[in-house]
């Protein structure tokens, strides 16, 4: 399996799994999947269509009454069985992660472990969903609250982390008694397709989980369909606006986990070596194509130039190339279109907005010429109002800006329309708590760079980074509706 020659023998064969059927082609258009490491076709798929959504929703609605009524411990055991199956096929899933979007093999085993952990974590909740009794005023009554599934959840997940996002949504949805129609992204469908195949092998009843690989037509049909009770969307803000506009027609509830422009604040008292290493993570992780990546580095002025030199020195050790090579640290961009868009943003930042290019900025050639490769790119002296500081680049680009005071750093960090993540580097405990409390972000990490995203912790955004939470008990309740029942216990004879 050399550079530019991925093994496609492990690719799953079923882009659609609807009810008890595994389909090798849908009724939609054909799609050529391109492996971003070499620009060559991996395979051709016949995607799903609106008609396939109709069939999938019908299967899910038929399966829902029995799935909802199934005892929690039975749902728990099925989720645990699914975790074991993914574990058995871990090496296969890791390779599929690489083949679908170019994720490096240094990271893909961790993506698979995360998926396994989500199944096991939410399996533990399946038999512990309990209501509560509340007090009543004005006479004897029994007043209680119950939590019930929505019914059919439509899950739309992105190409940059399809396995991560799919398991983040599907595990709590299933644990709470919902059925699922899951859209696999056409740019990176393989791990979600394989996940769908394993659900049947694990013994999940037909129709409980339905998978459709498809494009915008499938997503739109899911949002419009009256048989889908809730949409959980993970993706871009631009697409989310279309989702909400369509969902508004039926007042369909939506959960949104969207993009980000996460700030990394580095104070002078931080461990600079560690802060620099972690500062690079925003560009290196998934080649910068992650919603919560820290891509804006705000650095206290007294350490600004030394910190830049550290970043520049470390960037020379970031090996970019074949994602199947265990020594590769950063892989390709998803497509030629995305690569050209990123290069345009970098060019504008330098030529129009006055940013200083520290390293990178040009497409890789030579052995990398056929793939979609951009080296780690660092821009210094970035104006906080410029496009590269305000908009999601979704590539291996870091925008670095100095600050003078704590208050200025807070204002800069909060000075975008996004609010997904924030990262703070300091050894001062008071400062860490204070700055964290001021961040307008759904996830804040102190002296970290991603470790806090665990199945047991709530994850989601503020402002235009979405709403709702995935993960933890809060994520469980995203897929439950609250019902209050009041029962009169007064003796009618006594009232006469």
- In three state form, how does the secondary structure of the chain look? CCCCCCCCCCCCCCCEEECCEEECCCCCCEEEEEECCCCEEEEEEECCCHHHHHHHHHHHHHHHHHHHHCCHHHHHHHHHHHHHHHHHCHHHHHHHHHHHHCCCCCCHHHHHHHHHHHHHHHHCCCCCCCCEEECCCCCCEEEEEEEEECCEEEEECCCCCHHHHHHHHHHHHHHCCCEEEEEEECCCCHHHHHHHHHHHHHCCCCCCEEEEEECHHHHHHHHHCCCCCEEEEECCHHHHHHHHHHHCCCCCCEEEECCCCEEEEECCCCCHHHHHHHHCHHHHHHHHCCCCCEEEEEEEHHHHHHHHHHHHHHHCCCCECCCCCCCCCECCCCCHHHHHHHHHHHHHHHHCCCCEEEECCCCCCHHHCCCCCCCCEEEECCCCCCHHHHCCCCCCEEEEEEECCHHHHHHHHCCCCCCCEEEEECCCHHHHHHHHHHCCCCEEEECCCCCCCCCCCCECCCHHHEECCECHHHHHHCCEEEEEEEEECCCCCCCC
> Which listed residue (100, 186, 257, 478) is catalytic?
257
Active site residue 257: yes
Q: Which residues are annotated as catalytic?
A: 257
């Amino acid at each position: 399996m050399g550079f530019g020659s991925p093994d496609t023998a492990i690719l799953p064969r079923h882009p659609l799994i609807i009810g008890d059927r595994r389909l090798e082609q849908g009724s939609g258009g054909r799609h050529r999947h391109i492996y971003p490491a070499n620009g060559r076709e991996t395979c051709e798929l016949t995607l799903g269509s609106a008609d396939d959504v109709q069939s999938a929703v019908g299967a899910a609605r038929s399966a829902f009454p029995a799935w909802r009524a199934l005892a929690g411990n039975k749902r728990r055991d099925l989720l645990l069985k699914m975790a074991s199956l993914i574990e058995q096929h871990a090496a296969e899933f890791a390779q599929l992660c690489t083949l679908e979007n170019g994720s490096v093999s240094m990271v893909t085993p961790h993506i698979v472990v995360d998926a396994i952990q989500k199944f096991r974590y939410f399996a533990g909740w399946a038999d512990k969903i309990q209501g509560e009794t509340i007090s009543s005023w004005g006479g004897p009554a029994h007043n209680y609250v119950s939590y019930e599934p929505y019914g059919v959840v439509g899950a739309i997940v992105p190409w940059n982390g399809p396995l991560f996002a799919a398991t983040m949504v599907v595990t709590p949805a299933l644990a709470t008694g919902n059925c699922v129609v899951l859209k696999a992204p056409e740019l990176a469908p393989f791990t979600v397709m394989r996940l769908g195949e394993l659900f049947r092998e694990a013994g999940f009843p037909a129709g409980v989980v339905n998978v459709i690989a498809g494009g915008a037509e499938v997503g739109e049909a899911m949002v419009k369909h009256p048989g889908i009770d809730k949409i959980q969307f993970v993706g871009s803000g631009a697409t989310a606006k279309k989702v909400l506009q369509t969902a508004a027609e039926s007042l369909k509830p939506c959960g949104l986990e969207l993009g980000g422009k996460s700030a990394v604040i580095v104070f002078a008292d931080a461990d600079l070596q560690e802060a620099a290493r972690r500062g690079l993570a925003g560009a290196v992780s998934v080649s910068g194509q992650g919603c919560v990546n820290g891509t804006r580095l705000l650095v206290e002025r007294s350490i600004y130039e030394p910190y830049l030199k550290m970043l520049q020195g470390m960037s020379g050790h970031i090996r970019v190339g074949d994602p199947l090579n265990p020594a590769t640290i950063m892989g390709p961009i998803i497509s030629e279109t995305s690569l050209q868009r990123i290069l345009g943003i970098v060019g504008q930042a330098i030529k129009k907005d006055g940013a200083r290019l520290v390293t990178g900025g040009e497409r890789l050639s030579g052995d990398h010429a056929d793939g979609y490769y951009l080296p780690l790119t660092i821009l210094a002296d970035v104006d906080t109002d410029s496009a590269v500081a305000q908009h999601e680049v979704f590539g291996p680009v870091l925008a670095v800006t100095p600050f003078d005071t704590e208050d200025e750093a807070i204002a800069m960090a909060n000075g975008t329309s996004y609010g997904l993540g924030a990262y703070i580097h300091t050894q001062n405990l008071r400062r860490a708590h204070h700055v964290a409390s001021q961040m307008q972000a759904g996830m804040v990490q102190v002296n970290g760079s991603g470790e806090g995203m665990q199945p047991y912790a709530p994850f989601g955004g503020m402002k235009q980074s979405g709403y709702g939470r995935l993960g933890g008990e809060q994520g469980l309740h995203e897929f439950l509706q609250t019902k209050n029942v009041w029962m009169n216990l007064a003796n009618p004879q006594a009232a006469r």
